[in-house]
Structure 1
């Protein structure tokens, strides 16, 4: 039986992918006390294709927002893998978003809103979080965005 958060995802038409395995020598998440630290997630489509692009060059803000939303979906998949039950998420504490962008591009916060807005859509007030949104000259595999998270879990 699915919980309230999984019901909300279904209502939004979202099917969680399998939690991605690490691409190098790290773990996808670490639990420490009631905190869950989730490694950076990159944007991948349901078909597993990476969303490649550079904001301000080959990609517009709206497409970057969609890429950030895909990162958020992957973060939630990692939450599910870590807890077995998304209703155990007490709060999304912080997101850190990296935007593959040109020197002139300044809308990194708008791009990462794609992830932030989705967290609030899914978790409601528990999805409101502190956040950083920074530019990066490049990201792994040439992806447009990468987002990591800190989450508080129920005791």
Structure 2
């Protein structure tokens, strides 16, 4: 069994002590973070390592940013997906933890209610996601765990589901 959690941290620097306290108390196998809001060079990797955790991350200043934290080795790391996001946007990271594919994503709606400008980048995401997840997972393993936030067309979906290769959620 794998103990996993997801947290929209809304700035890892502002919430680092909270995250470290929670990790010490709960001891998860996987913690997925969204909205880290920090460039890669400023991610608090050393603090997490001192607490006994590995971390992989993709970040950018002020917006977005995703990370996966685990006491286990993090393998087969990939970031990004298709052409749906602006270049350099830090919105998706995928890893294998104990052989299980874990995908962490942060896909906000954007700011334009008329579906132009910033929000227009979400339109092709379902097609790109289909390529990303089916028919073969992004990383090898018996299934996939998908975490994160997906907000498209004014509806927010907090994702935390396991999808088997058969396509049936479990």
TM over 0.5: no
Flag the structure with more relative contact order, 1 or 2, with Cα contacts below 8 A and sequence separation at least 6.
1
Q: TM-score, normalised by structure 1?
A: 0.35
Specify which structure has the higher proportion of strand: 2
